[in-house]
Amino acid sequence: MDTPHDCESVEEIKAALQKNNQALAMEKIKEYVDKQNNIPLNIAITGETGSGKSTFINAFRGVKHGDAGYAPTGVRECTKVPTPYTHPNYPNVKLWDLPGVGGKHFPADQYLNDVGFENYDFFIIISDTRFRENDVKLAREIQRMKKKFYFVRSKIDNDIRAQKLCQSEFSEAEIKEQIKEDCIKCLQEQGIQSPQVFLVSSFELHLHDFSLFIETLERELPEHKRNALLFAMPNINQQIINKKKEAFQANIKWYAALSAAVAAVPLPGLSVGVDAALLAHVAKQYAVSFGLDVPSLENLAKSTGVPFKDFMASILSPLAATKITPDLIIKVLTQCASAAALMAAEEGSRFIPFLGIPAAMALSFTTTYRMLNFILNELADDAQRVFEKALGCNTTE
């Protein structure tokens, strides 16, 4: 469902087009698209010192030790003040590493005021053992102030490994269920009703409850914040890839409308040039979000042990793992017979008296709409192939 702002933007664009005010229509479309791509999302990560907050932040952002923006980790209290860590590809998404609740610098009863409670969209309370008194105090205060919070039980891989070593009959599912039930019971005994607890390993985000956690966030976040979260997410399963594709698909009509508005300007070659630049800009967004840019693929190779060349061998689109430029887009377009024919028809129709401009606008809209769908489908398919390669073709986890 569209937000009131979305509906207002749509009406403004329609009104501008109906009045044949192409410049205003272009301005409104650009404003709308820019706002959709730059909605701020501020996520607070809190918990007691040593619970794994910084490790979680690094994993969520796909940042490894030695990378720019790496959040320092360790058993000592690393974080003295609320510290923002910007997503490397989506600067509108920030994860805030908050000081350990209950530490000597931030007593629990003053914590929310001291860390700037109002700055965050929701809170993730992390613990590597049972959730303690300070965690519960914090949750109650967040609840009182009517914001969302979630309990993440971290380092679950350590617990599973330890239990496996000391049990002759080992069941990972039973151990995880026992840990979750223990956390929930502990929180309920301290007065938290129906607590949501998610078991997570920051070193294996595709396993355990992380997918369920993201599904919960998507369901409970305001609609205009969901895409900001979704686009910044690592591709931990096929569902994430599909959801990204659907979200990108929903915005294609706006880029096509912008292309149509440009086509109304009777200058030879203008529309093709703008369309190529527009398509290049959008294709870069797709490639980065799907993890098909070179830095993302190199990081994936390091974290999975799969050689970079193996990922490259599974990629088919000429727009993946390369520098996407308007010239490359035009090359791809000319190799697609239907797109080339539509572009030629648009240029030819532009100077037909009376009917030329409306025809050029319709053809430009159609060309951009079809090409963006084509590019999106190809890159989404490549993302799926890379994902399968990363997990050794095992996508059942």
Say how far apart CA 240 and CA 233 lie, in whole Å: 8
Q: Dump pLDDT digits (tens) for 19-29.
A: 767 667 667 76
Element (H, E) at 212: helix 210-220
Query: Using an 8 Å Cβ cutoff, are 260 and 366 in contact?
Result: no
Return the SS3 of 190.
coil
Phi and psi torsions of 221, nearest 5°:
-75, 150
Query: Using an 8 Å Cβ cutoff, are 157 and 163 in contact?
Result: no
C-alpha separations of 166 from 22, 128, 170 in Å: 71, 19, 9
Task: Say which amino acid occupies 346.
Answer: E
pTM value is: 0.80
Which pLDDT does position 141 carry in this prediction? 83
The alpha carbon of 256 is separated from its chain's Cα centroid by a whole number of angstroms, namely 23
Best-predicted range by mean pLDDT among 116-120, 169-173, 179-183, 393-397?
Answer: 179-183
Which pLDDT does position 109 carry in this prediction? 65
pLDDT of 266 strictly over 90: no
Phi and psi torsions of 127, nearest 5°:
-145, 145
pLDDT of 268 strictly over 50: no
Q: Dump pLDDT digits (tens) for 89-135.
A: 899 999 999 887 665 666 666 777 778 888 999 999 999 988 988 88
Say how far apart CA 226 and CA 293 lie, in whole Å: 23
What one-character DSSP code corresponds to residue 108?
G
Average per-residue pLDDT for the chain: 82
Residue 238 falls in which region: left (phi positive, over 0), alpha (psi -120 to 50) or beta: alpha
Say how far apart CA 156 and CA 381 lie, in whole Å: 32
C-alpha angle 263-264-266 in degrees, rounded to nearest 5:
90
Which pLDDT does position 273 carry in this prediction? 64
CATH class of 41-232: alpha beta
Torsion of CA 100, 104, 105, 110, to 10 degrees: 80
Domain layout of the chain by residue ranges: 41-232, 235-390
Residues forming a β-bridge with 365:
none
Residue entry with tokens 């007691």? 48
Half-sphere exposure of 338 (CA within 13 A, CB side): 7
Contacts of 278 (CB under 8 A, 6+ apart): 255, 258, 259, 368
C-alpha separations of 189 from 121, 151, 392 in Å: 27, 15, 43
Question: Please, which pLDDT band fits residue 279 given cuts at 50, 70 and 90?
Answer: confident
